[in-house]
């Protein structure tokens, strides 16, 4: 009997040491809420542009593997520098200052070509020297004149025109506001349709940060250029949000 009593005493102590679990934990009510996702897209007219012009010079073609004349490379580089200087002077006459002109470093590459009508002939090769010039345009009314000046001064390629806006933050904020307004509109519509009073906002999340998609016009070569074709359209900015509202208890519900 003493042994049995001691066992009962130990069991009681063990049970008393266990943590007390909430008896009604499984019965905790789920918060009444409504979750809404919404997006917005706005179109704005660009007010600035960046052009990328390319100047190219090349040495004469020679059979691959033959010794090259170093003077031809020097002459090609000097001619490229001369053309670059003339182009920059022409752009300055249009009112484009140094802060809006960005001349890239020279790039040199080896270019190989097959001889026409004779596939068994040795390959031909030459050195090609290029310089890129980025031009920032803050007044789009001057864009046609700038493009005309580029090709009048013999650029070899217009690598592209990138349209943009000066105040990106303001445009992105506008898209986000419209997405939030759309979310509230949807929530109010659902609550009104279901006769449920809409409560406070409990959670806000961006499902898509404002995405700015500047327009990029296709590249053009000098023989294909036409400044009249470089008319800007609009730029789209998209934003998305998810918002949660609490739902108040209906006044007609007594339970």
- Identify how many contiguous H helices and E strands the chain contains and give both numbers: 4, 11
- pLDDT at residue 35 greater than cutoff 90: yes
Are 227 and 187 spatial neighbours (Cβ–Cβ below 8 Å)? no
**Residue 225 — φ and ψ, nearest 5°?**
-75, 140
- pLDDT at residue 54 greater than cutoff 90: yes
- pLDDT at residue 4 greater than cutoff 60: no
Cα 24 → chain centroid: 52
Which helix (H) or strand (E) covers residue 103, if one does?
strand 101-103
- Least Cα distance to 52 among 107, 104, 127 occurs for 104
Angle of CA points 106, 110, 112, to nearest 5°? 145
Q: What is the pLDDT of residue 86?
A: 93
Over residues 158-172, the mean pLDDT reads 89
- pLDDT at residue 189 greater than cutoff 50: yes
Q: What is the pLDDT of residue 206?
A: 94
Question: Could you tell me what percent of the chain has a pLDDT over 70?
Answer: 79
* pLDDT band of 30, cuts 50, 70, 90: low
86-95, 108-117, 185-194, 206-215: the lowest-pLDDT one: 206-215
- pLDDT at residue 223 greater than cutoff 50: no
CATH value of 30-46+166-214+232-250 in 3.40.1080.10, 3.40.50.920, 3.30.43.10, 3.30.110.170: 3.30.110.170
Q: Which residues contact 92 (CB under 8 A, 6 or more apart)?
A: 101
CA–CA separation, 114 and 34 (whole Å): 69
Domain positions in the chain: 30-46+166-214+232-250, 48-164
For 59-116, the pLDDT digits (tens) are: 998 888 787 777 899 999 999 999 999 999 999 999 999 899 998 888 999 888 887 7
Which helix (H) or strand (E) covers residue 46, if one does?
none
- Beta-carbon count within 10 A of 63 CB: 11
39-53, 81-95, 110-124: the lowest-pLDDT one: 110-124
For 125-153, the pLDDT digits (tens) are: 999 999 999 999 999 889 889 999 999 99
| Structure tokens, 121 | 């002939």
Q: What is the pLDDT of residue 254?
A: 40
For 243-255, the pLDDT digits (tens) are: 999 998 765 544 4
- Beta-carbon count within 10 A of 41 CB: 14
CA–CA separation, 137 and 11 (whole Å): 86
As a whole number of Å, the end-to-end CA separation of the chain is: 56
Q: What is the CA radius of gyration of the chain?
A: 36
CATH value of 48-164 in 3.40.1360.10, 3.40.50.300, 3.30.70.2970, 3.30.413.10: 3.30.70.2970
Question: Could you tell me what percent of the chain has a pLDDT over 90?
Answer: 49
Q: Which residues contact 166 (CB under 8 A, 6 or more apart)?
A: 47, 48, 138
Chain-wide mean pLDDT for the chain?
82
What's the whole-model pTM score? Answer: 0.65
- pLDDT at residue 1 greater than cutoff 70: no
CA–CA separation, 215 and 106 (whole Å): 27
Q: What is the pLDDT of residue 26?
A: 52
Q: What is the pLDDT of residue 138?
A: 92
Q: What is the pLDDT of residue 77?
A: 93
């Amino acid at each position: 009997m003493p042994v049995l009593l001691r066992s009962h005493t130990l069991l009681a102590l063990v049970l008393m040491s266990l943590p007390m679990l909430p008896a009604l934990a499984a019965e905790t009510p789920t918060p009444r809420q409504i979750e809404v996702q919404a997006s917005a897209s706005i179109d704005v007219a660009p007010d600035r542009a960046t052009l990328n012009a390319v100047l190219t010079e090349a040495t004469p073609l020679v059979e691959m593997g033959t010794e090259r004349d170093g003077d031809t490379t020097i002459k090609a580089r000097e001619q490229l520098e001369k053309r670059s200087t003339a182009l920059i002077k022409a752009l300055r006459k249009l009112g484009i200052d140094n802060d809006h002109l960005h001349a890239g470093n020279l790039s040199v590459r080896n270019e190989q070509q097959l001889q026409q009508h004779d596939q068994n002939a040795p390959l031909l090769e030459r050195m090609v020297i290029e310089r890129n010039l980025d031009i920032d345009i803050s007044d789009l009314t001057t864009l046609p004149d700038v493009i005309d000046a580029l090709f009048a001064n013999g650029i070899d390629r217009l690598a592209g025109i990138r349209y943009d806006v000066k105040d990106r933050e303001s445009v992105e904020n506008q898209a986000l506001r419209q997405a939030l307004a759309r979310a509230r509109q949807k929530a109010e519509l659902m609550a009104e349709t279901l006769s449920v009073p809409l409560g406070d906002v409990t959670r806000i999340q961006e499902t898509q940060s404002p995405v700015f998609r500047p327009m990029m016009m296709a590249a053009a070569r000098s023989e294909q250029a036409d400044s009249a074709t470089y008319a800007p359209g609009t730029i789209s900015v998209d934003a998305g949000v998810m918002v949660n509202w609490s739902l108040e208890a209906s006044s007609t519900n007594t339970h």
